[in-house]
Structure 1
Amino acid sequence: MNTITVASPKPLDPLDETTSLEAPATARALGPDILRALAILLVMFVHLPEEAAPLPLAGIRPYGWIGVDIFFVLSGYLIGSQLMAEAARRKTVDFKAFYLRRAFRILPAFLLVLAFYTFIPSLRDAPTMQSAWRFLTFTVNFGLDPRAGGTFTEAWSLSVEEHFYLVLPVLVVLLKRRATVVFIACLVVTIVMAGVGLRFALWQSQVGPAVEMQAYKAALAVYLRDVYYPTYNRLDGLTFGVVLAAIRLFKPLLWERYMPPYLVLAVGSMFVIAALVIFSARGPFAETSLPLVFQPLPGAVIGFPLFSAGIALILGALLDLQSRIGRWHLPAVSGIATLSYSLYLTHKGVYHLDQMAFGKDNLLGLSGFVIYFATCFIVAATLWFLVERNFLSLRDHLMPRPGRTGEA
């Protein structure tokens, strides 16, 4: 069998945030920035009230929840690339450095926002909130019933990411010398199919009974709690991101020969479109007011892996096209991508503040849309400049990584 080896690891694609908004454009890969900016805008749209969505965007808003799945693919690719390249170069992974760098990247802004929600209840975007210890231990996505704690629920995806950070370095070290192409392929298929089977079983046993009784609000809460939020059901995007990183790092000639970028872009787009068609098929929920995030059985079971695979292919194609699209001057895209984490942490709370400051009736239509997005970016930029940027600079001063201009 063909073992997975690397003779001369090529440099990683600069994917994650640089330490400064003023960093040169060449320090970033535009394709990932496009996907990251798209992801955060979609997430912001889904939390925007329908009355404040301009008509051209009204059809996009219900699909905004898929932005999180785009983030998962990007994270899988970025973290997978870093860890596997390090393991190939140094024969091991520096666990201490990896976890410290992740802590500097994730925790400062997160803890500050959590502190505001915890100690200033008037800032909460919902009447109830999960216990602070669940946020601090990144277990908030297990058993998360939005009816019993709706404030800062967007932290569920951060919990998924943290679990991924804990597990992947260990897997990379364990599998580095023993893994074969066949073994890795079987592992990936097992992870994806286990997710498919588990979501199917949970939907049938937990969600289905509530649907049969037409208790749709209860069914939505159960679906989010048991199917949508838990880490073990959301591994598709992270897995396909890691697979993309492994192929591009260890089998670059194979990728280049059989995966021409325009063909990959077309196939990935077809996967995404197919997933969106499945997500749009509402079945028994067609006549209800349930949000699109609540998926009937087909979407909940196969929609996630299909969409994630499509995004991974699109990401791979965009990385291959960097020499062409990198010449585009799109500072707004890079700016949004840079602020994406701060935007994600604060956008729901900002809309609540907008309601307090301007009144709910003044946040309708185009004016409400403009106010919402303007205030979101003002708050996010403030958080970035005061917290994120300073801690990233401190991290890079304490733990420099020579030769890298754009990394996590």
Structure 2
Amino acid sequence: MNAVSRALVALFAPSRDQHRRAYGPDLLRAAAILLVMAWHMPKPARPEPLLTVQPFGWLGVDVFFVLSGYLIGAQLLKGIAAGNGVDFKRFWTSRAFRILPAFLVVLALYFLLPGFSDGKAIQPLWRFLTFTMNVGLDYRVTGAFTSAWSLCVEEHFYWILPPLVLLLARFRGWGPSVAVGAALILGGMALRWGIWHGPAADPSTRPADFLRLIYYPTWTRLDGLALGVLLAAARIFRPARVARWLPPTITGPLGLAAAVATVILCLRTADGVALDLTGAVFLYPLACLATTLLLCALLDLEPALQRLPLQPVTAVATLAYSLYLVHKPVQHMLREALGDAVLRGWTGLGAYLAADFAAAVLLWLLIERPFLRLRERVLRKPVPAPAEEMKQAA
């Protein structure tokens, strides 16, 4: 490991003693945030190569959902597999330290600094604090900090998954868990189809109604989270079967094929960005299936990945949350300051990326990393297992 790699590892390690990361998830996380940033890049700063990728940038959020489903699902299911149940307090405390500090800082900037806002109007503060701003969100009316919609979906997932896991753990066999996962995926497809033919049927109000009724709500975006949790369950409770039936020689090519099919289907939609019936019903689960298969392959290839110089990828992946929070307002402020005449083509792209990463590094160093280290100290305190707590209570 060279000096640059060692510096990156030290700078972006969440804790002082946690320098080793899983490169497989980090590869997907880095790709996801770069896709999202490409999607939001101002039009004058999109050189020809970026124009090829930009139409698919919205898929980055679906990659994030699959990763969250897998990582959070694995965290909870490992406790079930070890016979420790679900420690609700510990789980929600961990999530609060991870999500809230950086989010609240950026939210405060939106409300305290008018020049920070990337839209003319913003939803009431309570909608953000209760993570309900994705319900009925109309970007034409309140266009500032709309990217927080996916954080609302994530938070709802954090609230719902622990009790659901504990409930399903009471049943023997895979049947109920697979049934719930299938219901979420197929039910989401059916729900989006119904909304398209019902409340979102008027072509004159699209794409606003599509985004408000289909794209933003939690209940229509559970495909990726469900697939991620199912992958975690399979790898934790049936590792031998996964190794035998789903080796990387199968999941890798299948994942790539599904990714290519996603791109082709996206190009064949009415507007190229999936704001039609085909996109609503099929593109979300197809993109999430591709991500799930690729994640499964990358997890099995982790020993090989660890031998590659992927520290820059890890750095981007570590900054993904901060980048997601700040990239739109930073781009807005830079555009207001310098204008499109200066920020054009490769020059504009380089300037926007430099500003985005600089702001993300500051948010990481000043807010994210200190709170992650505080979380480590708080959660390091001995916490009795649920069974032991029952004995003490008796």
TM-score higher than 0.5 here?
Answer: yes
Deviation at 1:186, TM superposition (A): 1.9
1:157 is aligned to 2:150: yes
- How far apart in 2 are the matches of 1:22 and 1:364? 43
d(CA) in 2 for partners of 1:66 and 1:41? 11
Answer yes or no: is 1:232 the counterpart of 2:225. no
Give secondary structure in 1 for the equivalent of 2:123: coil
Residue 152 of structure 2 is aligned to residue 145 of structure 1: no
Give the letter aligned to residue 178 of structure 2.
A
**1:39 equivalent in structure 2:** 32
Q: What is the match of residue 241 of structure 1?
A: 228
The 5 A counterparts of 1:9-408 are 18-20=13-15, 23-24=18-19, 27-209=20-202, 211=203, 215=204, 218-283=205-270, 285=271, 292-400=272-380
Greater mean deviation of Cα atoms: 325-334 or 342-351? 325-334
Which stretch shifts more, 192-201 or 352-361? 352-361
CA distance in 2, matches of 1:135, 1:388: 19
- Inter-CA distance 332–401: structure 2 relative to 1 (3 Å threshold): farther
1:357 is displaced (CA, Å) by 2.4
What amino acid does structure 2 have at the position aligned with 1:87? Answer: I
Could you tell me which runs of 5 or more consecutive residues in structure 1 were left unpaired when the two chains were aligned: 1-16, 286-291, 403-408
The AA in structure 2 aligned to 1:178 is F
Deviation digits for residues 108-149 of structure 1 (CA, Å, limit 9, x no counterpart): 000000000012122111111111111100001110000111
Distance 2:193 2:148 in 1: 25
Count of aligned pairs between the two proteins = 371
How far residue 400 of structure 1 moved from its aligned partner, in angstroms, is 2.0
Shift of 1:355: 1.3
1:267–1:201 CA distance, 2 compared to 1 (3 A) = same
Equivalent residue letter for 1:263: I
* Alignment-mate amino acid for residue 280 of structure 1: L
Distance in 1 separating the partners of 2:229 and 2:142 = 32
**Secondary structure of the residue that 1:334 maps to in structure 2?**
helix
Structure 1 residues 148 and 294: CA distance shift in structure 2, 3 A: farther
Contact conserved, 2:267 with 2:273, CA < 8 A, in 1?
A: no
Please give the root-mean-square deviation of Cα atoms over the aligned residues, in Å.
1.6
Contact in 1 for aligned 2:168/2:176 (Cα 8 Å): no
How does the TM-score come out when normalised to structure 1? 0.88
> Displacement of 1:177 after TM fit?
2.4
Q: Which deviations, in whole Å up to 9, do the C-alpha atoms of 1:163-207 show, x marking residues without a partner?
A: 000000001111112142122222222111110110001011122
Q: Which moved more, 1:126-135 or 1:153-162?
A: 126-135
Rounded to whole Å, the distance in 2 between the matches of 1:71 and 1:179 is 30
Q: Kindly, what percent of the aligned residue pairs are identical?
A: 46
Deviation at 1:35, TM superposition (A): 0.3
Give per-residue Cα distances to partners, 1:7-60, cap 9 Å, x unaligned.
xxxxxxxxxx85149953xx1111111100000000000000222112112110
Q: Deviation per CA, 1:281-331, whole angstroms, max 9, x where unpaired?
A: 133x4xxxxxx4452111110111111011001001000001112110122
Partner amino acid for 1:60?
Answer: V
- Say if 1:401 and 1:19 are closer, same or farther in 2 by CA, change over 3 A: farther
Structure 1 residues 262 and 156: alpha-carbon distance in aligned structure 2, compared to 1, 3 A threshold: same
**Native 8 Å contact 1:37 1:340 kept in 2:** yes
Q: Distance in 1 between matches of 2:172 and 2:210?
A: 36
Gaps spanning 5+ residues in structure 2: where? 1-11, 383-394
1:275 & 1:21 partners in 2: Cα distance? 40
> How far apart are the structure 2 equivalents of 1:169 and 1:183?
16
1:14 corresponds in structure 2 to none
Amino acid at match of 2:92: Y
Q: How far, CA to CA, are the matches of 2:366 and 2:86 in structure 1?
A: 31
Counterpart Cα distance in 1 of 2:109 and 2:177: 43
Letter in 2 for 1:392: L
SS in 1 for 2:380: coil
Give the whole-Å Cα distance in 2 for the aligned partners of 1:117 and 1:72: 25
Contact 1:21 1:338 in 2 (8 A): no
